[in-house]
Structures are given as C-alpha cells and as structure tokens.
Structure 1
Amino acid sequence: MAVSALPPSAQAPSDPPPRSAKAVLFALAMGGFAIGTTEFAAMGVLPEFARGLGIDEPTAGHVISAYALGVVAGAPVLAVMGARMSRRVLLIVLMAMFAVGNGLSALAPTYEWMLAFRFLAGVPHGAYFGVASLVAAGVAEPGKRSQAVSRVLLGLTVATVVGVPFAGFVSLIFGWRWTFAIVSVLAILTMALVHALAPRDPPQPQASPLRELGALANRQVWLTLGVGAIGFGGMFAVYAYVASTLTAVTGVGAEVVPWALGVFGLGMVAGNIAGGVLADRFGMRAAAMLLIWSAAWMALYPIATPALWSILVVVFMIGAGGGLGTVLQMRLMDVAGEAQTLAAALNHSAFNTANALGPFLAGAAIAAGWGLPSTGAVGCALTLGGLAVWGIAWLDGRRAPLLADKAVQQC
C-alpha cells in the first residue's frame, strides 16, 4: 500500500526543540499516562462511585460511556477549531480542559453532574493524542517517526500497568474522588512539561477548518478508521469480560483479577513498542500482521480459559496486538495530506468506537447463552473484519496510482 509523504509543515517544527527529543517525548507521554489512568481507572472504581452517588452499577456504567462519547465527539471538533493554533499552545489548552474535567469529576455532587463532567473530561482526549503524535513525528530522527509516536502512546499503555493500580490503591484508602483528583494533577504536570519542553512552533495561519475537513473526503482516511473501529473492537470484546471469565470460568479469586489485567497491560506495552518498529519498517502492512496475530490468539482464548497459566499467556498476547494503534496513527498522518490534525485525532474516535462495539457484541453473545469464553470468538470475528477492511484499503491504495497513471497517459 502506497504511503504518501507528509507535507513539509507536518514533518518538522519551524524551530528546533529547546531540549532533546527524548525530553519532548517524555512530556507528551505524561499526558498519555494521565489520559490512560482516568480512562481505565474509572472502570476499576465504578462500584465505589456508584455507592457514593447512590446509584446502581449498571447506571454507573453510563458514566464510562459518557467519557467515550466525549472522546468521539470532541476529537474532530477540537482538531478543526484548533487548526490555526500553535501545536504547543493547543496541547496546553487541551490538557487544561482535561484537568478541569477530571477536577470537576472529583467534586461531582450527583450522578447527573458526574455524567456531564466525564463527558467534558473525554472531549480533549482524541485531539491531544492526535496533536501530540504530530509533534512527536516532527522531532523524530529520520526513519523513526513511528517509534516516536509509539512513545507518546506508551504513556497510555504504561498507565494500565502503573497508573490504574496506583489510582485503585489510593481510592481504597482515601475514596474514589481522589482517583480523578490525581489525574487532574497529572494533567497540570503535563501542561508544565509541554510548556517547558515542546518545540515553540508558531501559529499556522495557512491552516483552516475547511482544509482540515478535507480529510473527510479521503477514502483512505475512512478505510483506516474502519480498520481501527472494527479491528480494535476484538481486543475490547475480550478485555471487557476478562475479569468475569477469570472468576466464573477459570475459577480464581477476585484478588487475582488485578494481576491478570496487569499482564494484559504489559502485553500492551510490549506491543506498543513493537508496533512502532514494525510501522517504521513495513508501513501499513504492519497492520495486517498485527490483526492476524490478534485473531490467532483470540481464536485460542476459549480453549485457554479453564487454566490460569494458559489464559494469562493468551491475554498477554492479545494485549500485544494493541500495537495496531501506532500503525493506524501513522497511516492517518500519512494519507491525510494537509488535514493532519483532524486525521490524527480521529484515530481515537475510532478507538473509542471499538471500545463500544466490542463489549456490546460480546455481551450479546453471552446473553445468547454462548458463555463467557465466546468473547474470544467474537473478538476473533471482529479482528478478521478489521483485516477485511484493511484488504479493501490495500486494493484501493493500489488502484489509485493506476488511475492516476491512466489519466496522465490520456492527457
């Protein structure tokens, strides 16, 4: 599949970064760490804030959905609105919104206010990762753009191993509100780091909302988003029910569940690092490799559920398939032409669409009486669906140059 070059304005900042590229990537990854902590820790403290707000747990689950809806809605809107801003300034503004949303979540007096505040906290999520990925690619060494972007996403995956358990520990001692308060502090720390370390790029007056919206006319952008929205749904189909499967099928105690989720998180960390290397070497072909990898391990998941050792191995391998995120992030940045910010931000709208689709279909399979292990089969089917969309994108990418050559010959 052909990969178009980034426009010059997207390849590097106008001024060199004031510090080393590693320092810049650390600052950007800190924001990913804050976002990953709030996104996954909110699921862990759901029973606590359900009791605190006087609601049942199924109703409290709507709070999680409100955050995801904020991500889906906020990514394109903020990317378009911030098109002309300095990327460094835009990152600080986005983290400020994130800090406010989580701070207010810590103070929410009622369920209705909690819904509103979690939606607000989710709004800057996708735009932050999109803009941070562009900045990371701009400071990267030649040939290592994907690895630089993977370092930004590494903050999110490390949060599943470090941030989420720490937030849960604090919640048990001091109460669930401190989980969101800690995330707000992490967001403020990110603002300070980005202010001090990120390249001081000027505003981009040549950019415009209309130019950013031009990404939506590109078939390759939509097809890449389709790969993520469907293919990533497989991972979430399994992840959403791992805890229930461990206790009800594998037969382990509830105290083992956090460790198992930590194993999944370690798989995501490893996969994220590998995804950056694969994307730099193989481009969009790396997406097919990771989708096939994930589908194979998800097919094994139902067989692995009776024994703890086997389910942990498979869960780790499925988590490693999360490296797909870096590959798709780079692909969107490569095919978007001048509409860099919107395309990069939309990756996380697709990611959260998958977060809704996978658990919904897996839940339907369980409700139909197929049992908790069937989530692996659902995940495998979704991942293969993402692979099918990848195949369409690959054929479309090969067809476009042929049509262009034919048009030149006719002229």
Structure 2
Amino acid sequence: MIKEFQQHLQNQFPYLLQNPFYIAVSGGIDSMVLIDLCEKLNLSFEILHCNFTLRNTESEAETSFLKAFALQKNIPIHIQYFDTQSYAINNKLSIQLAARALRYDWFKEQMKQNNIQYLLTAHHLNDSLETFIINLSRGTGLDGLIGIPQINESIVRPLLIFSREQIALYAQQNYLEWKEDSSNQSDKYLRNNIRHNIVPLLEGLHTNFLESFHQTSLYLQHTQVLVQDALQKAYQDVVSNVNDCVLRFDLQLLMQLKPYTLYLHYWLKDFGFTAWEDIYNLAEAQTGKKIGSPTHTLLKNREELLLYPNDSAILEYIALEIDTIPYSNESIPIRIEFCNTSYPTISSANCIFVDYDKIKMPLVLRKWNEGDIFYPLGMQGKKKISKYFKDEKYSLLEKQNQWILCSENQVVWLLGKRQDNRYKITNTTKTILKIQYK
C-alpha cells in the first residue's frame, strides 16, 4: 500500500511531496493510517484535531491519545475544543452539520494564519460510495454522483483510491494504534445506516463492486470536466457583469441553449435557490417577476435576468415598466392614479398632474442616461438633463440617485424635481394622472 500511495501522490498531488501541509486527524483508524503513510514517506506535515465535546470521556480520551502520539513522534499538533451542542442550537443545525461547519471554519483559519496551502483528510473509497448513495437518495445532478472529489479547493483526499478493508489490513500489518468512535456503531445516522446495511448488500452483488464503483466514479469525473468546459463557454457568451454585485443573463442567448434550464441550474445552484421550476419559468415571465433565495434575488427585467445580493441596491441599474394604473412601488415610493378633473391640479416637486392621453404605456422608471433631454415645465425649449444637474449643482451621489419617469423614452418627470412641459394638463385634457413621489 505504501508504494501505491507514493505513486498516487507523484501522479496526482506532486506538490505534497515538496510542501508542508496539515492532516485532519480524529484518532480513528483512517486518519492514523494516513499519518503513518505520510510519515514513512518523510513528508512535512502537522496535525489538526477537533474535540467536539460530544462524547464526554471518550472525546477527551481521543485527544489525550493524539497528544501522546504526537509527542512520541515529534509531530506538531494543534487542538481545538468546540461547544458543538450550543453552536447547533444557536444556528439551528443538526449536530453533524454543526460539527462540519466548526471544523472546516477552524481549518481554514489555521491555514490562513500559518500560510499552509493544503489540508489532507482521510476519506476513502467506502466514504465516497456512501456519499454517492446519500446524494442519489436525495435527488442530485452530476456533481452529487461523482462521490467525494479527490481535491476541493485546498482540501486533498489522497486515500480515495483505497477501500476500508485495505486501510484496516494496513493498520493491522503495521501494528498501528487508533481510537474507535462509538457513535460509528449507531444506525440512527443516515451514513452509518448505509454503511452497515446497504453497502454490504451491494458488495454482495459483485466481488469487485467497490473497484467497479471507483471506475464509474472516474468516468463521471471525466464527464464533469467536459460539462464544465461547455458551461464555461456558454457562460462567457450569456452572462455579463453590470457592476461588482449584479450579474446580467441575456435571455435571447440563454433561450438558444438546449436545454437552457440545465445551464441555469448549474450557474445558479451555488446562490441558495430551491424553487427551480419558478426560476425556469422566469425566462418567459412578465418584467418585474422575481425569485428569491436566502442570499440572492433573480429578477426578470425585459430581455434579461438580473442576479444580485439581497442587500444590494439593484434598483439603481434596472428599469421598472409600469403597465397598469393605479400603480405603487414600495422600493421606490411612487404612486400613480387617475384623478378627477375637478381635483385641484397644481403640480409641486413631489406631486405632478399629467395628461393621460399624451403618454404611451408602459411608463418606464429608470436612472438618467447621458444624452437625456427634457422640456422643463415653465421654461422655453429643451434642456439636457446633465446641464440641468450642473445648473442645480447636483453632487455625483445626487446624479446617481435621480429617478426619471419616461414615456417611449421621453422624459415625463425628474422625480421630486421638475415636470416635462409636453405632458402638462391643459383646458382640453380629458383624463388626468396624478403621480406622487414621497
């Protein structure tokens, strides 16, 4: 096994032969075998160990065992205690998810502080098969069917080519010591249930079942590479940055992809969305329709989809189409309604009255564009809005925040500032619109 492990590192992870790294160690048989293999190859590494304080004396016994082991072998060790139970309760997580979040956050922190690029974990082939079955049972795409990846960012798993049986045999032949986690015997956890009851049945179907699964996993990984290449090429054509926080999806180009739903799923799956049918239908929905996730919003805006964080000021970058009257919008405090002709119709900065028959629907609410002109009420002729800004001594922030109401791209009103003369009411006006901006 040592020769196969060495060859595997040389082929797949040659940088581990030259650079120091961390090994995440629980004290169980898998991580102790990984340490022994790395030690026999004279690699440079240190141990990271988490005590989740969940199993009382058993957890402390594992920590004490590793302290003594590291001292005897002269291997640097870093130990972190966690109040996992409280963390799980406070963050509304299961114990398993809480422990995972705590340990990987701590791993990243240690790596950043000490400038260590790689962390090794002792996941093996059986772990990958269990993950495959879990993902298959829950419904998954290609990513979930490749099992556990050999490397994910800075996390490296060099034992994935070995089975649990091979690891156990190596440990026995080399007289290694380890600590058994009693929780691994309980079937109340999904992974343990699969390990104890389902995997043995699958292995009974074929003498080389694990080897066949490993080969299938490699085929799926190769397929994933092809898929990722196709996704990246299409992404460059369809998606662009509006700014640092807003992504724009060109709907005309998106809909040419077959099936476009697959591309959308891959591009959006890391943003927390779950209502996939609603997202797929968004491409043909009305402007203004949007779907939310805990962190992001996807908005239909005419011939595009806009993706933005929930805390970003997306309204600075889009146009809102106003198709129906009365109309109101909470994000932009504007209200449009029909007005009785007998109602006092004196316009002010925050309330104007316009001739409904002079406008074309939909009205569009947007930010100003360079080159926009309007005919200020009470003045003769037209004026560039940029010149109006200059005359009114607008700051850059005020320019960026100025909303404009348009009819067929003609300015009706600079909200809160000046009405356009072309849409004012006259003695012949039959229908009046009252537009308020608070």
Q: Which has the higher helix share?
A: 1
The structure richer in strand per residue is 2
Confirm or deny a common fold (TM above 0.5).
no
Q: TM-score, normalised by structure 2?
A: 0.21
Q: Looking at both structures, which has the greater relative contact order when contacts are Cα pairs under 8 Å and sequence separation is at least 6?
A: 1
Query: Which of the two has higher C-alpha Rg?
Result: 2
